[in-house]
Amino acid sequence: MQLLMVAAGGAVGSVARYIVSVKLGLWSGTTVFPWATVLVNALGCLLIGVVFAAAMVRGWLSPELRLLLAVGLLGGFTTFSTFAMESLELARNGEWSLAIVNVVLQNVLGLLMAFLGYWLVAARAT
């Protein structure tokens, strides 16, 4: 049952990431900087903070639902491998400053969003 929860969440998360990437790619009209990956990773970090606080602080989520959301859905939605590949590609194309901005932005923003998501749920706990 646990594997099914992770697989189902991962399938939905991966499709959602693809849709966001396609829509943002069409909206921004640029492929120079990987904004779609920044967006999905930041949103995923915000949501993992929410899920963590909802499960661990509030006790709102069962272990199975936590697997579905955190490991499956958000694991499929966010993408470290794409982030790494896009950073490498920027560097290979001589866009070193953009590669560095991408690495710093995604790491700092990801941590801040995870803290924010956690705080939004946990800070109101009694």
Mean pLDDT (whole number) for 92-115: 96
Percent of the chain clearing pLDDT 70 (strictly above): 94
Tell me the per-residue pLDDT of 63-75, one tens digit each, with 9 for 90 and over: 999 999 999 999 9
Domain coverage including residue 78? 2-122
Tell me the per-residue pLDDT of 10-55, one tens digit each, with 9 for 90 and over: 999 999 999 988 888 766 666 678 888 899 999 999 999 999 999 9
Tell me the C-alpha to C-alpha distance, in Å, between residue 84 and each of 60, 87, 112. Answer: 34, 5, 19
Tell me the C-alpha to C-alpha distance, in Å, between residue 2 and each of 7, 10, 12, 59, 65. Answer: 9, 12, 16, 19, 9
User: Cα–Cα distance between 118 and 57 in angstroms, integer?
Assistant: 9
Secondary structure of residue 62 in the 3-state scheme: coil
Look over the chain and give the mean of its residue pLDDT values, rounded to a whole number: 90
pLDDT at 27: 66
Both tokens of residue 5?
A: 């929860």
Burial 57-69 (b: 16+ CB within 10 A, else e): eeeebeeeebbbb
How many domains in the chain?
1
Q: Look up the pTM and report it.
A: 0.84
